[in-house]
Structure 1
Amino acid sequence: MVTPRRPAAVRPPAVEPVLLPDLTVVDPAGLHPHAELEGVRIALDAALDPDDAVDASHAEIFSSELSGLRAARVAARGARLRETRLTEPDVTVLDAPASDWRDAEVLGGRFGSADLHDGELRRVSLVGVRLRYLNLRAARLADVVLRDCVVDELDLVEASAERVALPGSRVGRLDLQHARLVDVDLRGCDIEEVVGPRWLAGAVVDSAQLMSLAPALATAVGLRVVG
């Protein structure tokens, strides 16, 4: 008699809160293209008009906090963030392709669209963030948590995602076409629509989610359900 193999346990994301040293308060003008910032706090809520644009392309921001970032557009192509916290951002467009986020967190706030395609996120958490569109196409994710977030559209086309969880979050449209998933835990996440359900391999869902996904999964494999 062959004993059925138990499914391997899901490896949870290894994400810890960002612990910052005593920070030096610096002028918002310090945030500019190719800036090198370490151990600083920049309070932007009183410094910027909501219609302003911020250019932090290729900036390096280490062990720092950006508080109250309000802008119509933030350009951050190729930026590197290490042990850095964003608190209550209010950004219409975040244009940050090929950016590199490690040991970083975003607490609260909202983004109209956040373009992080072809980027890298390791040990990153978003807590209570509202996003209309999160573009992670061809991005590489490892140990990432979206907790209590609302994402109208989450684009993971051709992304590589390992140890990712979305507890308490709500996703309107999840596009997984050609994604590679390993230990992606979708339990506790309310997902309205999945595009590319055949690429769910490597994800974990609960029984209720499986029932809601059944029609899309059946269509993906050409299964006809009669009666």
Structure 2
Amino acid sequence: MPLPVPDQLGDLPYAHLLTPHTGRLRSDERYDTALFDGGEYTDEAAGGATFLECAFSNVSLSGVRLRQGRFNEVWVQGSRLVACDLAESEWQDAAFLGGVLAGIAAHGSALRRVVFRQCKLESVNLRAATLRDVVFEDCVLRDVDFGDARLTEVTFLGSTLEEVRLRGARLSKTDLRGAVRLGLSDGHEGLRGALISSSQLFELAPQFAQALGITVKDR
């Protein structure tokens, strides 16, 4: 089941504490109950920054470097993240609603209790990341790389997967049955430990056969 996430900014439990943020983002800065509303941030360096009970509404981040950032109880709505560096970042009790993440480096990151709802993820590098209790709901995941990642209790409700890579991934209690489309470009062996439906199994059968070196040929 999807985790409960407010759809409106005013419904956040810390909404009354939010203070509008002005100025640039800074490395190793601590942002506590900050509201980022409608701003544009381009090519800024904010590595190691901490965001606690913050909200991002209709924000555009392009080329922003947030490597090793920490995001706890963060709400991101209607925002665009393009070509951002989120490698080795930590996300807990966070939500992305109706946004776009494109060309994102998030390898080695850790996501726990994170919801992506009605988002588009394209060319997102999640190699060697750790995802626990993460929900992708009504999302499009295109060219997303989960290579060598660990996925535990991850669900893909109503989501479309296209050219997703799972080579070397380790899945546990990960439920793919709700996916509208299960398009994998490699790493079919990485599905070990996942739950899939019988129709998905039938759809993936030719790719499983190829991965196992089995030739299927009717007389």
Task: Give me the TM-score of the superposition, normalised by structure 1.
Answer: 0.86
Structure with the larger strand share: 1
1:93 aligns with 2:83: yes
Task: Using the TM superposition, give the Cα deviation of residue 30 of structure 1 relative to its aligned residue in structure 2, in angstroms.
Answer: 6.0
State how 1:1-227 maps to structure 2 within 5 Å.
Answer: 15-17=3-5, 19-21=12-14, 22-29=16-23, 31-43=25-37, 45=38, 47-48=39-40, 52-189=42-179, 190-227=181-218
Q: Which amino acid aligns with 2:40?
A: L
**Alpha-carbon contact 2:79-2:98 (below 8 Å) kept:** yes
- 1 or 2 for the larger relative contact order (CA 8 Å, sep ≥6)? 1
What CA distance in whole angstroms lies between the structure 2 residues aligned with 1:90 and 1:178? Answer: 29
**Paired residue total:** 211
Change (3 A) 1:121 1:213: same
Report percent identity of matched pairs.
30
| Residue identity matched to 2:147 | V
5+ residue gaps, structure 1: 1-11
Larger CA Rg, structure 1 vs 2: 1
State the Cα deviation string for residues 162-211 of structure 1 (Å, max 9, x = none). 00011111111121111110011111211223411112101111111111
Task: Give the deviation of 1:66 after TM superposition.
Answer: 1.5
Q: TM-score, normalised by structure 2?
A: 0.89
Q: Which amino acid aligns with 1:218?
A: A
TM-fit CA distance, 1:48: 2.5
**Matches of 1:144 and 1:138, distance apart in 2:** 15
Task: Report if aligned partners of 1:117, 1:135 keep a CA contact under 8 Å in 2.
Answer: yes
- Give the alignment's Cα RMSD to 1 decimal: 1.8
Contact 1:20 1:83 in 2 (8 A): no
